Structure 1
Amino acid sequence: MKIASIRIGKVSIPLKKTFKTALRQVSSAEDIIVKVIADTGEVGFGNAPPTAVITGDSQDSIIAAIRDTIGPKITGMNVDNLEGIMTTIDAAMLHNSSAKAALDIAVYDLFGKLHGIPLYKLFGGFHKSIATDLTISVNEPEEMVQDSLSAVKEGYKAIKIKVGTDAALDIKRVKAIRAAVGYDVKIRLDANQGWSPKEAVRTIRKFEDLGLDIELIEQPVKAHDFQGLKYVTQNVLTDIMADEAAFGTYEVFQLLAMEACNLVNIKLMKAGGLHNAIKIAHFAETMGIECMMGCMLESKVGITAAASLAAGKKIVTKADLDAAVLLAEDPVIGGVTFAQDQILLSDQPGLGITDVKGWQEVM
């Protein structure tokens, strides 16, 4: 089986509710879906959401990178030469991690289909299902309380609260949410780089003093501030997770060597796909650092790929793979299914995806 052609398209999927963080507001998922087509006619699906404030990648840059630079280099290669294809994708150009991830995912999908194995089994098969949290956008405390209660009612046992816009107001938000949902629900906080190191320490210590029982704090400081992240990690009792700082393999290696965080959030769009995400998981496992599998605003194509890796590896102990749940509709045929907070993996080969409705090819 060889790669015969690559087709690029877009899907626009409205969100159930505007997604708000300290970095951006989004009301629809504007995703790039690639189809890597083999000479047998088999199709591998890949996904890349443009997230310029985090990855630096826009729709246009993703399309251009795939169409003009990376795609032509892997066309004609044998799908069985998985290592060769991934090496070619990595070396094709600097940066452009989302474009690389889209092609990487599609090639893995083809590889799984070629050999008749679902990707979660290819990656280790540790679980058949995983639990995800549900993200609560940053808003006024009263609205966030209602959103949190709705999540718990829907069966979520962990919620991820977006904070980082105003430290004093963040304390009120989290205090109100904890009072509303009780202590049987895990609360994770994501500051999206919103605090300074000292502000982060003051704020997190306040959470601790109030007994709010926060499971973890994600990326409290700027992504480039590795020393600031280490300062926060060393000066609070709550576990600190690197997200935007843990961009790719090199950054994660640096963070782990510095002991700058307690946890690592792996995202395919930062890592450049599954190939490098596996390396990050192995780095972390070697250092005894547990991982969360996270996502951008991917369609179910990207979520299925991320869930497959999360289910395959035992070092991935947490999941924040709720993007497909936040969408008002699901155009993806096949892939994972959802039951309350559980993501159920398919035993169909590859990603188990057969089509994407509303896919519009980019000429």
Structure 2
Amino acid sequence: MKITNIYTKILKAPLKKPFITSLRHVDALEDLVIIIECDDGTLGYGEGVPTPQITGETMGSMVAYITLVKPHIIGKSIKEFDRLIKLIHTLTVKNTTAKSALEIALYDLKAKSKKVPLYQMLGGTQTKFTTDITISMDETDKMIAASHNAVILGYDTLKIKIGDNLKKDLERICAIHNALDKNIKLRLDANQGWSAKESVKLLHNLEKQGIIAEFIEQPVAADDIEGLKYIKERVQTPLLADESIFSLNDAHKLLEMQAIDYINIKLAKTAGITQALKLADLSKSFGVKCMIGCMLEGPISVAAGVHVASAKADIITMIDLDAVSLLASHPAKTNIQFNESTITLSKDFGVGVKF
């Protein structure tokens, strides 16, 4: 299987409702799909979404990266897989989402060449997973209504977006907690919206009321490493790092400092599957569990995350891969079952999604 062409397409999809966090407001999905074509007609599919507020990438920068890398890959055989992966990561720094999309396409091709689903190639066996659902930041009554609707749809774990106003955040969390059955788990995500002292103040207030979320995700700025440690040393609620961890070095520093309880692995941050697998292994060496998460993206990249979750099911114990469920529709073709809270991988070779 020799690579003969690389080209891109835009995947557009409507959302069921706007996606709102302390960092951004999104009304529709627009992703970059990368397609690698081989001389035998086999196609490898990858995908990434520009999220400039988090990764610094735009659609233009992602396309520019692919244009730069393309001549270095065309003509190579998929048998040179390790060399190709190294090329992706050494030709430029940063560009983590674009690198991830290209990696996913290469992993898709490699698994197809071996005639196995990607999760099997990576050593995984689990095919069925349960994800949470994101409750976008809004007025309290609307967030309660969205939470009730999610429970009706079968979700037992909700990720509550907060972080724009400490007083309103406390009101939202308490109201949602009081409105739901106690078997419904809450995850809190402030998306860098608070200071360390504000985080401790709010979490102490919740804890005094007996409200201890499954975790609080990235309450402080991504570069506020000391802030994370300050919070962890003062609250009962487990602390999960998201935007603070892109690289293995980022993770190693936080793990050495004992500044966090959990790590959120996202392919768009780790620059693809290769580093995501290594990050899971690093976390395991410190006895720290992981969550696999996603940006607001389509079924190709979300499916790739599920395959990684299968490969590292012993350490990736939390799933936050709800992006496909947030879409009203999408044009991709797949036998993977995205059934609200339940995601079931297919036996199709590779990632299992076409576009």
* TM-score bin, normalised by smaller chain: over 0.9
Structure-2 separation of matches of 1:131 and 1:163: 23
The aligned counterpart of 1:280 is: 279
Aligned 8 A contact 2:187 2:215 in 1: yes
The aligned counterpart of 1:231 is: 230
Residue identity matched to 1:106: A
- Please list, as runs of the form range in 1=range in 2, the aligned pairs for 1:333-344 lying within 5 A after superposition: 333-334=333-334, 336-344=336-344
Structure-2 separation of matches of 1:187 and 1:71: 43
Residue 283 of structure 1: how far off its partner (Å): 0.5
The aligned counterpart of 2:156 is: 157
The aligned counterpart of 1:208 is: 207
Structure-2 separation of matches of 1:311 and 1:142: 37
The aligned counterpart of 1:318 is: 318
The aligned counterpart of 1:348 is: 348
Residue 59 of structure 1: how far off its partner (Å): 0.4
The aligned counterpart of 1:289 is: 288
Residue 250 of structure 1: how far off its partner (Å): 1.9
Give the gaps of 5 or more residues in structure 2.
none
Structure-2 separation of matches of 1:340 and 1:20: 19
Aligned 8 A contact 2:12 2:330 in 1: no
After superposition, what is the alpha-carbon deviation per residue over 1:143-169, rounded to whole angstroms, capped at 9, x for unaligned?
A: 000000000000001000001111111
Structure-2 separation of matches of 1:350 and 1:126: 14
Residue 126 of structure 1: how far off its partner (Å): 4.0
The aligned counterpart of 1:66 is: 66
What is the SS of the residue equivalent to 2:171?
Answer: helix
Confirm or deny that 1:96 pairs with 2:89. Answer: no
The aligned counterpart of 1:29 is: 29
Residue 78 of structure 1: how far off its partner (Å): 1.8
The aligned counterpart of 1:10 is: 10
Aligned 8 A contact 1:300 1:336 in 2: no
Residue 336 of structure 1: how far off its partner (Å): 2.4
- Please list, as runs of the form range in 1=range in 2, the aligned pairs for 1:129-144 lying within 5 A after superposition: 129-144=128-143
What is the SS of the residue equivalent to 1:348?
Answer: coil
The aligned counterpart of 1:264 is: 263
- Please list, as runs of the form range in 1=range in 2, the aligned pairs for 1:154-233 lying within 5 A after superposition: 154-233=153-232
Structure-1 separation of matches of 2:263 and 2:206: 21
Aligned 8 A contact 1:70 1:100 in 2: no
Residue 4 of structure 1: how far off its partner (Å): 1.3
Residue 247 of structure 1: how far off its partner (Å): 1.4
Confirm or deny that 1:146 pairs with 2:149. Answer: no
Residue 88 of structure 1: how far off its partner (Å): 0.8
After superposition, what is the alpha-carbon deviation per residue over 1:50-86, rounded to whole angstroms, capped at 9, x for unaligned?
A: 100000000000001111x222222222212222111
Residue identity matched to 1:54: I
Residue 87 of structure 1: how far off its partner (Å): 0.8
After superposition, what is the alpha-carbon deviation per residue over 1:332-355, rounded to whole angstroms, capped at 9, x for unaligned?
A: 1015212341110111110122x3
Percent identity of equivalent pairs: 40
The aligned counterpart of 1:361 is: none
TM-score by length of 1: 0.96
Structure-2 separation of matches of 1:35 and 1:99: 12
After superposition, what is the alpha-carbon deviation per residue over 1:182-224, rounded to whole angstroms, capped at 9, x for unaligned?
A: 2101100000000000000111111111112311000010001
Structure-1 separation of matches of 2:351 and 2:108: 5
Structure-2 separation of matches of 1:277 and 1:71: 23
After superposition, what is the alpha-carbon deviation per residue over 1:128-155, rounded to whole angstroms, capped at 9, x for unaligned?
A: 1111000000001100000000000000
Structure-1 separation of matches of 2:75 and 2:191: 41
The aligned counterpart of 2:52 is: 52
Aligned 8 A contact 1:118 1:351 in 2: yes
Aligned 8 A contact 2:212 2:236 in 1: no
Residue 123 of structure 1: how far off its partner (Å): 2.1
Residue 11 of structure 1: how far off its partner (Å): 1.7
What's the C-alpha RMSD, in Å, of the aligned pairs? 1.0
Residue identity matched to 1:261: I
Equivalenced residue count is 354
Residue identity matched to 1:289: V
What is the SS of the residue equivalent to 1:80?
Answer: helix
TM-score by length of 2: 0.98
The aligned counterpart of 2:252 is: 253
Residue identity matched to 2:199: A
The aligned counterpart of 2:332 is: 332
Structure-2 separation of matches of 1:255 and 1:126: 30
The aligned counterpart of 1:76 is: 75
Structure-1 separation of matches of 2:144 and 2:156: 15
Residue identity matched to 1:38: C
Structure-2 separation of matches of 1:204 and 1:287: 25
Residue 302 of structure 1: how far off its partner (Å): 0.5
What is the SS of the residue equivalent to 1:81?
Answer: helix
Aligned 8 A contact 2:324 2:338 in 1: no
Give the gaps of 5 or more residues in structure 1.
357-363
